Amino acid sequence: MEFEVVIGLEVHVQLNTKSKMFCSCPTSFGDEPNKNTCPVCLGLPGALPTPNKEALKKAVMFGKAVGSEINRKSIFDRKNYFYPDLPSGYQISQMPIPIVGLGKLNIDYEDGTSREIGVTRAHLEVDAGKNIHGDGHSKVDLNRAGTPLLEIVSEPDMRSSDEAVLYLKKLHSIVKYLGISDANMQEGSFRCDANVSIRPKGDEKLYTRVELKNINSFKFVQKAIETEIERQTEAWEDGEYDDVIYQETRLYDSAKNETRSMRGKEEAADYRYFPDPDLLEMVVDEDMEKETDNIPELPDEKKERYIKDFKVTAYDASVITMEIETANFFEDLMSKGVSGKNAVTWMTVELQGRLNKEGLAYENSPVSAEKLAELVVRIEDGTISAKAGKEVLDYLMENEVSVDESIDKLGLKQVSDDGAIFAIIDEVIAANPDNVERYKGGQEKLFGFFVGQVMKASKGSANPAKVNQLLKERLK
């Protein structure tokens, strides 16, 4: 039987506000345990929460970026459960009326086409603290308790692990463009849960979903989902689907590349959600509307602009716009007026390849965008060949010199001067009278031989376009 994969993602984005969601404690990372706490985030009885306006603003910006309906009035609810890192015994979240309603985002395929994925909702909530186990003791650090999270829930619209990764990368990209989060997956400021089910192809109904947690890199998202699809498919094929696949939360173990059961999945009813009586409805007023109207240029808009203004392919444009740092580098490169096509090649193939080898990124590249642009200019104006350009780039990676200095130093300047090239051509012609005879007698294939001889005699420094042109003239 042929199966179809159904995936929906829940992403927790830690908003980069200075203070926590409902108190003025700092959100800074790595401080002495329990230093950044107060009666509110410690969950002491009687302490009253005050919503953080910046967090609200960031949530609204996100909603606008994905074309969502913004709920002008949203409600905070208590989600009740017990865990040592949650001293109040409930998490403040949003259930029936989230700040951000239905929206969508585009995922981009390699062939340049795109597809829309639904964003069901996004709501504000607070993070819990951390339990730390070891030395025969378990300790609780509440520094993180109460930091604002935006939980972004997708529709079950993805049909493969590839699509899940594309969605996640796009979401990551949008969040970074907006500057509302550090969105660091390893440090946990951008966390993803993947819901996975399979169904016979053609079936419209949704089958039992399994929720995968603990996936902290794009690579693991892909692997965790693949592993789970395999488990479900095998169960179906072995006739065991109804016995072993049930709604549950499973943990992905990247070391063993397997998922294992963590707990049965709670239903919403288990949490006894109810509106938090300590909080009023949260209102998006006129001022907030205005403040969030000027969101920065987003990846899709940038992509369209690059295709139109710089004549790069749709796929190249989506690769370059994926990360804001890459897009910024590209724009600096383009400000020197080089061709889009050359800029893409020199940046994403030549420079990127070298950066990868050194474990570097565009932000800390030893060759700045301005310098790379100068190099491309020198190739475009014929000062050096593309081949020599690669040598220059190698040299620039290691040495802090200008492009022109390194061209001089490496002796790579192309000879484009007519007189100098004619002199070499004349030598080559004088040394090969037989071939000149034959060429003039109709063996036009010999032209390549002459080009080769001239290039060789110039030790590769002659401008090939010039050599072609002048040779044709001499051999007429």
Which residues contribute to the site for ligand ADP (CB under 6 A)? 6-10, 153-156, 195-197, 206-207, 209, 211
Q: How far apart are CA 429 and CA 304, in angstroms?
A: 52
Binding mask 1-40 for Mg ion (x = CB under 5 A): ---------x------------------------------
Sheet holding 274-275, edge to edge: 90-93, 77-80, 274-275
CA atoms within 13 A on the CB side of 25: 24
> Which residues sit opposite 313 in a β-bridge?
none
Q: How far is the CB of 23 from Zn ion (least distance, A)?
A: 3
CA 375, 376, 381, 387 torsion-angle sign: positive
Beta carbon of residue 213, minimum distance to ligand ADP (angstroms, whole number)? 10
Q: Which stretch binds Zn ion (CB under 5 A): 40-48, 128-136, 212-220, 228-236?
A: 40-48
* Pairwise CA distance, residues 380 & 397, whole Å: 21
Of the candidate spans 35-43, 113-121, 293-301, 417-425, the one that interacts with Zn ion by CB under 5 A turns out to be 35-43
Radius of gyration of the chain from its Cα atoms, rounded to whole angstroms:
30
Q: 122 or 312: whose CB is closer to ligand ADP?
A: 122
Measured N-to-C along each axis, helices 464-474 and 418-431 cross at an angle, to the nearest 10 degrees, of 60
25 binds, among Zn ion, ligand ADP, Mg ion, none (CB under 5 to 8 A by kind): Zn ion
In the complex with Mg ion, which residue's Cβ is closer, 100 or 344?
Answer: 100
Q: How many residues bind Mg ion (CB under 5 A)?
A: 1
CA atoms of 264 and 348, how far apart (whole Å): 46
Burial class (CB in 10 A: 0-12, 13-18, 19+), 173: buried
Q: Tell whether residue 178 is a contact of Zn ion (CB under 5 A).
A: no
Contact partner, 397, from Zn ion, Mg ion, ligand ADP, none, Cβ < 5-8 Å per class: none
DSSP SS3 for 125: strand
Query: Which does residue 7 touch among Mg ion, Zn ion, ligand ADP, none (CB within 5 to 8 A, set by kind)?
Result: ligand ADP
Is 25 a residue that touches Zn ion (CB under 5 A)?
A: yes
* 154 versus 216: smaller Cβ distance to ligand ADP: 154
Regarding 393 and contact with Zn ion (CB under 5 A), the answer is no
First CA to last CA across the chain, in angstroms? 70
Minimum gap (Å) between residue 153 Cβ and ligand ADP? 5
Mapped onto helix, strand or coil, the DSSP state of residue 70 is: strand
Residue 369's alpha-carbon distances to 92, 408, 438, in angstroms, are 45, 21, 50
At 449, the amino acid letter reads F
Strand 130-134 to strand 73-74: parallel, antiparallel, or no bridges (unpaired)?
A: unpaired
Q: What is the closest distance, in whole angstroms, from the C-beta atom of residue 270 to Mg ion in the complex?
A: 13
Minimum CB–partner distance for residue 379 and ligand ADP (Å): 48
The least CB distance from residue 40 to Zn ion, in Å, is 5
Tokens of 48: 């009253």
From the list 16-24, 78-86, 109-117, 132-140, the region that binds Zn ion by CB under 5 A is 16-24
Question: Which of residues 10 and 162 has its CB atom nearest to Mg ion in the complex?
Answer: 10
Q: Which two tokens stand for residue 111?
A: 């062939």
* Residue 38 interacts with Zn ion (CB under 5 A): yes or no: yes
Residues that bind Zn ion (CB under 5 A): 23, 25, 38, 40-41
Residues that bind Mg ion (CB under 5 A): 10
